[in-house]
A and B are shown apart, each in its own frame.
Chain A
Amino acid sequence: MTSTESSSRSFSLRMSARDLISIGIFAALYFVLSLAASLIGIINPPMMIVSTGLAIIIGAIPFMLFLTRVRHPGMITLFAIISGALYVLTGTLLIGLILMVGLALIAELIVWAGRYRSTTAGILAYTVFSIWFFGPILPLLYARDDYLSMPGLTSAGPEYVAGVDALFTTPVILAVGVGCAVCGLIGGLLGARVLRKHFVRAGLA
């Protein structure tokens, strides 16, 4: 905690060992809690949408606490690299990790603009960061023909492929991205409330 005082005054990317350990712990918390929520969606595709929203909202609680415990430039980027790598290990497409690190850099800027103290900046940062959850359907935007000609998809018959083609138009894909951001905003607000209600009171924040 003492290291945060000096870090807010001078800009330095060099982190104390304590901060690095905290990043590791919160990456583990974020990964396990959000993965547990998204595993509900493995049953069928419609549940997938509900569980992704749930995963975003649950992930906000460790994230918002994380922002109050480290307060050092580079924290969100490192957090994203590690939790993103874990998501890749469990089978998320690689594009998810790239998107996650890119969004983490933007979230980093937002938190930095709030001097690592502002709750509003924290909520906004989580909103931006959550958009990474729509990474797995991104191939529909840049490799649409390849995606639609996958043997798994074409074996379902031409009507099914046409159905997927008709359902996932560019506006719908973008709407999924906006939906992720909305869930991120809800999560951020909930996280800030839980922070006040429990963690500040318990002396953990």
Chain B
Amino acid sequence: MTPTAPAGAHLGNARHTAGRGVSPAPTVRDPRITLVLVIATGVVMSLPAPEPFFPGAVLLVIMLIGIERAWRRLAGFLIAIAGLAALASLLPALVPHASTAIIGYTAAYLLRFVLIAAVASHVIATTSAAHLTAAFRAAGMPRAIVVPTAVTMRFLPVVATETRAVWEAMQLRGLASTGDMLRHPVRLIEWLTVPVIASTLRVGDDLTASALLRGLGSTSRPTSIHPTRISPADVLLLAMSGVLAALSWWLFG
């Protein structure tokens, strides 16, 4: 998901730099604002009939991923959105049949998740663990939420990389065929999860020691090199998103 570096690339030195991401580029918005946008998208998409908001959400996605200039990811999401929208609206109309109707329904259902994922991808790509921690603290979140959230954000790529590595090793040894999956699902689960958990915990022990030494979880409030302030650009972004939502509702709702 991260366009900057493959998740495994920084695994080697990750133990020493954990929680200290690259300094945010000037185009990065306050994480509080972008998180609010993700939550708002999530709430709108969980409405029973979110379809009127689809065009507005697509514009929001273009705006957000355009800010970080991740054109390839933007293109990927737009192709996925266009494909699903075509399946959802054109296919059942062109070929009226029960099977195309089911495909269309599934596509419409998946579309909302793709839209949320696209908005969330902006937060994941632009927010380092340190940046997120500072933003959470600035928003007055308790330490019991801030610390585990930062650790989780830091560990998602680790777990994903380990899972992929173990899965590839299993395939290489012919242990992950579809037949095995159907005949011995439990054995397969065991073979996959045990090495993933064991190696993640090993990385985790190192991280715990180094993070504690650097004062993570101390009760005093740390200062940040990049103080989180809501800039006029953040307000503008939030206002434009609000206008998009209102327009969608007024035009199509």
A→B interface (CB under 8 Å) = 13, 15-18, 20-25, 27-29, 31-33, 36, 42, 44-45, 54, 57-58, 61-62, 65, 74, 78-79, 81-83, 85-86, 88-91, 93-95, 139, 143, 146-147, 149-153, 155-157, 159-160, 190, 194, 198-199, 202, 204
CB distance from A93 to the nearest CB of B (A): 4
Contacting pair A155 B155 (CB below 8 A) = no
Contact B159 A150 (CB under 8 A): no
Contact present for B159 and A78 (CB under 8 Å): no
A149 to B47, CA, bound (A): 12
Query: How distant is the Cα of A33 from the Cα of B100 in the complex, in angstroms?
Result: 32
Q: A29 near B196 (CB under 8 angstroms)? A: yes
Q: Are A33 and B163 in contact (CB under 8 A)?
A: yes
Known: A22-B204, A27-B148, A155-B105. A146 touches B48 (CB 8 A): yes
Since A15-B144, A18-B217 are in contact, a sample of 6 more A-B pairs with Cβ atoms closer than 8 Å, ordered by chain A residue number, is: A29-B200, A149-B48, A151-B108, A156-B102, A156-B105, A199-B197
List of 4 A-B pairs having minimum Cβ-Cβ separation, nearest first: A17-B217, A24-B151, A152-B108, A91-B113
Question: Which residue numbers of B lie inside 8 Å of A, CB to CB?
Answer: 38-39, 42-43, 45-46, 48-49, 51, 88-89, 92-93, 96, 98, 101-102, 104-106, 108-110, 112-114, 116-117, 120, 123, 143-145, 147-152, 154-156, 158-160, 163, 185-186, 189-190, 192-194, 196-198, 200-201, 204, 207-208, 211-212, 216-218
A52 to chain B, nearest CB (A): 14
Chain B: minimal CB distance from A83 (Å): 8
Interface SS of chain A: helix
Also in contact, A33 and B159, with CB within 8 A (given A23-B148, A25-B200): yes
Partner of B105, one of A57, A139, A152, A194: A152
Contact B148 A78 (CB under 8 A): yes
* Contact, CB under 8 Å: B185 / A89: no
Residue contacts A-B, CB under 8 angstroms, 5 given:
A78-B144, A82-B145, A82-B152, A86-B156, A149-B49
Task: Tell me the complex Cα distance, A157–B89, Å.
Answer: 13
Q: Which residue of B lies closest to A17 (CB)?
A: B217
Task: From the candidates A65, A83, A152, name the one contacting B88 in the complex (CB within 8 A).
Answer: A152
Docked pose: A198 CA to B187 CA in angstroms: 13
| Most chain B CB atoms below 10 A, which of A42, A79, A85, A152 | A152
Asked whether, in the complex, the Cβ of A61 is within 8 Å of the Cβ of B194, the reply is: yes
User: How far in angstroms is the closest Cβ of chain B from A77?
Assistant: 9
Find out whether the CB atom of A24 lies under 8 angstroms from the CB atom of B189.
Answer: no
A86 to B149 Cα, complex, angstroms = 10
User: Residue on B with the closest CB to A50?
Assistant: B185
In angstroms, Cα B64 to Cα A156, docked, is 33
> Bound complex: CA of A31 vs CA of B160, how far in Å?
10
CA distance A143 to B105 in the complex (A): 18
A204 near B198 (CB under 8 angstroms)?
yes
